[in-house]
């Protein structure tokens, strides 16, 4: 399936679907495909991406289309990130925020009481989130310098 065929397929699904949640997933696919077309990929990269679209078997008809296409969208994004190094805007910031919050809460639980903080969990979470965002923003800036960010907005 070529990128243009995939885009047309999802545009067709939007017109036939009345559920907003499913339409949202189709729109995300369309934005991602448009960003890939605008990114300036080489012919071999485009061919590999189109082969991955074929491997996803997007034209399979199922009862629960929302879940099916949501899983396929996540697999496709994972493929682009792992094989081509392409990420969405703020990917690393969002990941850093989540990981920082988790590790910060753990650190706050462990060290908060020993350092004399009454609310060690909250202090650890705030510190972890801040640190995670800083690291994530730096990685996002690095990805932008390397032209690895897809502009899906």
DSSP string over 93-127: HHHHHHHHHHHHHHHHHHHTTTTT-TTHHHHHHHH
Assess contact for 30 and 50: CB atoms under 8 A: no
The pLDDT-based confidence of 118 (bands split at 50, 70, 90) is confident
Assess contact for 125 and 142: CB atoms under 8 A: no
Average pLDDT of the residues of the chain:
88
Residue spans of the domains in the chain: they are 3-85, 91-150
Assess contact for 129 and 103: CB atoms under 8 A: no
Q: Taking residues 62-74, report their average pLDDT.
A: 87
CA angle 79, 146, 75 (to 5 degrees): 10
Q: Taking residues 78-96, report their average pLDDT.
A: 90
Q: At what angle do helices 20-38 and 3-16 cross, to 10 degrees?
A: 160
pLDDT at 16 over 90: no
What per-residue confidence (pLDDT) applies to 153?
A: 61
- Whether the CA torsion 34, 73, 76, 50 is positive or negative: it is negative
What per-residue confidence (pLDDT) applies to 78?
A: 92
Assess contact for 6 and 25: CB atoms under 8 A: no
Residue 22's nearest CA partner among 10, 33, 32 is 10
What per-residue confidence (pLDDT) applies to 141?
A: 95
What percent of the chain is modeled with pLDDT above 70?
99
What per-residue confidence (pLDDT) applies to 136?
A: 95
- Tens digit of each residue's pLDDT (9 = 90 or more) over 24-45: 999 999 999 999 988 888 899 9
């Amino acid at each position: 399936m070529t990128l243009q065929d995939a885009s047309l397929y999802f545009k067709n699904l939007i017109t036939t679907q009345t559920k907003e949640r499913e339409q949202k997933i189709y729109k995300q696919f369309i934005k991602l495909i448009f960003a890939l077309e605008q990114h300036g990929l080489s012919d071999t990269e485009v061919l590999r991406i189109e082969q991955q679209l074929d491997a996803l078997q997007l034209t399979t008809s199922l009862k629960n289309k929302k879940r099916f296409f949501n899983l396929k969208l996540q697999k496709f994004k994972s493929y682009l990130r792992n094989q081509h190094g392409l990420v969405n805007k703020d990917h690393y910031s969002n990941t850093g925020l989540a990981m920082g919050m988790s590790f910060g809460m753990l650190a706050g639980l462990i060290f908060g009481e020993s350092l004399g903080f009454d609310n060690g969990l909250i202090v650890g979470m705030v510190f972890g989130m801040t640190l995670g965002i800083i690291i994530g923003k730096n990685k996002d800036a690095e990805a932008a310098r390397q032209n690895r960010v897809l502009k899906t907005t």
